[in-house]
Structure 1
Amino acid sequence: MLETVRLDLIPLLIISSGILHNICIMNGDFLETILNLPEELLEEIRMNPRN
Structure 2
Amino acid sequence: RFWGEPLIQQRDLWAERDGQVYVVSCRASPSGFDGLMPLCDQILAGLTLR
TM-score, normalised with respect to structure 1: 0.30
The structure carrying a bigger strand percent of its residues is 2
Q: Which has the higher contact order (CA 8 A, sep 6+)?
A: 2
The structure carrying a bigger helix percent of its residues is 1
**Computing the radius of gyration over CA atoms, which structure comes out larger, 1 or 2?**
1
TM-score, normalised with respect to structure 2: 0.31
